[in-house]
Each structure stands twice: as structure tokens, then as C-alpha cells.
Amino acid sequence: MEKNITYKHLYSSDEKLKWWGYGEWVEEPDEAEFEHNGILCKVIRSVAHEYPNTKYMFGGHFCGYCRIPKNHVDYDHKKPFDLGYDVHGGITYGKLDENEEYWIGFDCAHAGDIVPSLEASKKIRGEDEGIIELKLQFPDSPVWRIAYRNIRFVVSECKSLAEQIAEKITPDSK
């Protein structure tokens, strides 16, 4: 793991095994916080009870966030999805928090991303025959090139996003 990044384990390996089965997500940290190019960045594993009063935990994928400085042209942008930053899956989050800090972010639960809870449910259900047939007909389709976006990947994407945010800071706005 990189220096100058604070990593945290929020869930035990046993919890993650019970919720989603074995995968890279079992041993890696669940959160990271760091500053890059003067921009505060956070990586958080998304975990939510899918249905109240059940043991099923949806998620296991990461989301990455960067704080937009108050003097930045994109601070409190009303349409964060239209900001044009180049990040995995595009900007999917923009919100002013309780401290009047504006955060934008992205998630790793898109087509082509492995979401641990969905992988676990596939193992329980088995793979549908129709999907197997499609794989046989179109073996080279990019749809089948799926990957788990681990914490290293999301930290790297946050750094890229922070660099793009920092590029828009003008000398008079510093």
C-alpha cells in the first residue's frame, strides 16, 4: 500500500466472506483517505442492507470521491454529471455535505465491473443458459471483459480526478 494514504478495514474478513464469498475484497481495506494535488480524496466500499431485516448485504464495490474547493469554478455545481471529468464510469455523485463541503464522485458498479454481492448471487443461482449461449455466439464481445475494481484502481482514479480538478483552479481562485 502507498505511503501518505490512510487505509481502514471497516468489515472483518469473516463478514465479507459471509456476505459475498471469497475474492480479492476479503483481505483488502474498505476505505482510504488521502490528499493529492491539494485535493482531498476518499475511497469507500459501498455496503448496504438490500432488504430490511435480512442478512443479505448488497455491494462490496468501491466508490471514489474528491472534494471540490469552495473557490473552484465547479463548487456546488447543480449538474455534477455534466462536469466532463474523465473518470471510471463518469461522475455519478455530487453533493454538498453538512460542513458545506462539495464532493463529486464515481462508482465501480457499472457494466463490466464485478460487484461482490452480485457475484455471490450468481453462484447461488447458477448461470442462465441464455447467457452461456450469448457467450458462445459473441466470445470477443467487450461485455465479457469484466474486472473487479480494487482499492488500488480506485485510488489511482481518484488521483486522476484530483489532477483534473486542480487543473481548473486559476491563480485568482487559490
pTM for the full model? 0.84
Half-sphere exposure of 47 (CA within 13 A, CB side): 18
Q: Measured between alpha carbons, how far is 155 from 164 in angstroms, rounded to an integer?
A: 14
Classify residue 148: in a domain, yes or no.
yes
Could you read off the pLDDT of 85-126 as tens digits, one per residue?
999 999 999 999 999 999 999 999 998 898 998 876 665 445
pLDDT, mean of residues 136-161: 81
The average confidence (pLDDT) of the chain is: 85
130 has pLDDT over 60: no
Classify residue 152: in a domain, yes or no.
yes
Classify residue 123: in a domain, yes or no.
yes
Q: Measured between alpha carbons, how far is 158 from 138 in angstroms, rounded to an integer?
A: 33
Classify residue 15: in a domain, yes or no.
yes
Classify residue 1: in a domain, yes or no.
no
Question: What total of structural domains would you count in the chain?
Answer: 1
**Amino acid type, 119:** E
Classify residue 118: in a domain, yes or no.
yes
Q: Measured between alpha carbons, how far is 81 from 62 in angstroms, rounded to an integer?
A: 18
* Domain, as residue range, for 88: 6-173
pLDDT at 169: 82
pLDDT at 125: 47
Could you read off the pLDDT of 18-74 as tens digits, one per residue?
889 899 999 999 999 999 999 999 999 999 876 666 666 789 999 999 999 998 999
pLDDT, mean of residues 135-144: 57
pLDDT, mean of residues 138-159: 81
Q: 96 near 76, Cβ under 8 Å?
A: yes
pLDDT at 167: 93
